[in-house]
Structure 1
Amino acid sequence: MNAWQNVDAPCGRVRTYVDGNVIRARGIRYARAQRFAHPVDEPPVDFIDGDEPGPANPQRRRDPNAGMTFDQLGGLPTSEDCLRVSVTTPLSAADHSSSLPVLVWIHGGAYVAGAGDAEIYDPHTLVEEQNIIVVSVTYRLGVLGYLGTGSSEHSNLGLLDQISALRWVQRNVAAFGGDPGNVTIAGQSAGADACAHLMIAEATDDLFHRVILASAPLGLAGGTEPMNWAMAKVAEKIDPESSVDEILAAQEEVHRAALVGGLHAGMCFGVHYGDYPLPAKSETDDAWSRAARRYDVLMTRTEREIAFFAGFVPAFRRLHSRRLTSPMLESLISGITSAVYTRASKEFYDRHRMAGGQGTRLLIVSRGDGSFFDAAHSGDLPLLFPGDVWHDSFLDYGAATAIAGPELRRIWGRFAGTGELPRVLVPGLIDILG
Structure 2
Amino acid sequence: MTIQQNIVTHTFETPFGKILGLRENGVIRVKNIRYARSERFKKPVPVQTADFEISDKIPVCPQHVSPFLERLIGKTDVNQFISDESPQFLTITRPENYDENERLPVVVWIHGGSYEIGGGDLPTSDPSVWVQEQHIMVVAVTYRLGVFGFLGGDEDRPANLGLFDIIESIKWIKKNIHSFGGNPENITLFGQSSGGDAIAHLMISEGVDDLFQRAIIQSAPLGFRIKRTAMSADFFQKTQFLKDESDPMNMVDQYVNFLPSFRKYGLKTAMPFCTQYGHSPLCKEEESLPKWKENAKKYDVLIGFNNDETAFYVKTAEKGIYTYLPSTILDKIVSVTTKSIYGKPIDIFAQNYKEGGGNIYQYKINSTIKNHYIGASHCIDLPFIFENEAEWKSAGLLKDVPWEYIQENGKKLRALWAEFARNGSISEDFERPEVLELRKV
Aligned-residue offset at 1:10: 3.0
Aligned-residue offset at 1:226: 2.2
Closer, same or farther: CA 429–266 of 1 in aligned 2, 3 Å: same
Q: Which amino acid aligns with 1:383?
A: F
Closer, same or farther: CA 236–330 of 1 in aligned 2, 3 Å: same
Take 1:195 and 1:375, find their aligned partners in 2: how far apart are those partners?
23
Q: What is residue 143 of structure 1 aligned with on the other side? A: 147
Q: What is residue 437 of structure 2 aligned with on the other side? A: 431
Q: How large is the Cα RMSD of the aligned pairs?
A: 2.1
Take 2:114 and 2:186, find their aligned partners in 1: how far apart are those partners?
28
Closer, same or farther: CA 71–87 of 1 in aligned 2, 3 Å: same
Contact 2:71 2:396 in 1 (8 A): no
Secondary structure in 1 aligned to 2:364?
A: strand
Contact 2:31 2:52 in 1 (8 A): no
Secondary structure in 2 aligned to 1:305?
A: coil
Query: Structure 1 regions of 5+ residues with no counterpart?
Result: none
Contact 2:245 2:251 in 1 (8 A): no
Take 1:379 and 1:44, find their aligned partners in 2: how far apart are those partners?
39
Secondary structure in 2 aligned to 1:55?
A: strand
Aligned-residue offset at 1:228: 1.4
Contact 2:106 2:136 in 1 (8 A): yes
Q: Which amino acid aligns with 2:25?
A: G
Contact 1:379 1:395 in 2 (8 A): yes
Aligned-residue offset at 1:129: 0.7
Q: What CA deviation, in whole Å up to 9, does each residue of 1:204-256 have, x standing for no partner? A: 01110000000010000111122112212202222324311221123213433
Q: What is residue 172 of structure 1 aligned with on the other side? A: 176
Closer, same or farther: CA 177–361 of 1 in aligned 2, 3 Å: same
Q: What is residue 25 of structure 1 aligned with on the other side? A: 30
Contact 2:153 2:233 in 1 (8 A): no
Contact 2:151 2:232 in 1 (8 A): no
Contact 1:146 1:271 in 2 (8 A): yes
Secondary structure in 2 aligned to 1:255?
A: helix
Take 2:73 and 2:147, find their aligned partners in 1: how far apart are those partners?
25
Asked if 1:296 corresponds to 2:296, the answer is no
Q: What is residue 363 of structure 2 aligned with on the other side? A: 362
Asked if 1:2 corresponds to 2:4, the answer is no
Aligned-residue offset at 1:53: 5.3
Closer, same or farther: CA 40–254 of 1 in aligned 2, 3 Å: farther
Take 2:46 and 2:184, find their aligned partners in 1: how far apart are those partners?
18
Secondary structure in 1 aligned to 2:242?
A: coil
Q: Which amino acid aligns with 2:334?
A: I
Q: What CA deviation, in whole Å up to 9, does each residue of 1:130-167 have, x standing for no partner? A: 11000000000000111157667521000000000001
Secondary structure in 1 aligned to 2:297?
A: helix
Closer, same or farther: CA 254–163 of 1 in aligned 2, 3 Å: farther
Contact 1:30 1:168 in 2 (8 A): yes
Q: What is residue 249 of structure 2 aligned with on the other side? A: 245
Aligned-residue offset at 1:114: 0.6
Aligned residues: 428
Contact 1:126 1:385 in 2 (8 A): yes
Larger mean Cα displacement after TM superposition, 224-233 or 418-427: 418-427
Contact 2:304 2:346 in 1 (8 A): no
Matches within 5 A, 1:24-423: 24-45=29-50, 48-52=52-56, 54-65=58-69, 67-71=71-75, 75-93=80-98, 96-147=100-151, 153-310=157-314, 311-312=316-317, 317-319=322-324, 324-325=326-327, 327-387=328-388, 388-396=390-398, 397=401, 398-421=403-426, 423=428
Take 2:161 and 2:203, find their aligned partners in 1: how far apart are those partners?
16
Q: What CA deviation, in whole Å up to 9, does each residue of 1:75-117 have, x standing for no partner? A: 2222213110000001122x64320100000000000111001
Q: Which amino acid aligns with 1:431?
A: E
Larger mean Cα displacement after TM superposition, 260-269 or 204-213: 260-269
Contact 2:225 2:274 in 1 (8 A): no
Contact 1:17 1:51 in 2 (8 A): no
Aligned-residue offset at 1:425: 7.6
Take 2:354 and 2:383, find their aligned partners in 1: how far apart are those partners?
30
Q: Which amino acid aligns with 2:381?
A: D
Q: What CA deviation, in whole Å up to 9, does each residue of 1:45-101 have, x standing for no partner? A: 3x74445454011100122258344235762222213110000001122x6432010
Take 1:253 and 1:243, find their aligned partners in 2: how far apart are those partners?
17
Contact 2:44 2:164 in 1 (8 A): yes
Contact 1:196 1:213 in 2 (8 A): yes
Secondary structure in 1 aligned to 2:282?
A: coil
Q: Which amino acid aligns with 1:363?
A: K
Closer, same or farther: CA 73–112 of 1 in aligned 2, 3 Å: farther
Query: Structure 2 regions of 5+ residues with no counterpart?
Result: 1-5
Normalising by structure 1, we get a TM-score of: 0.93
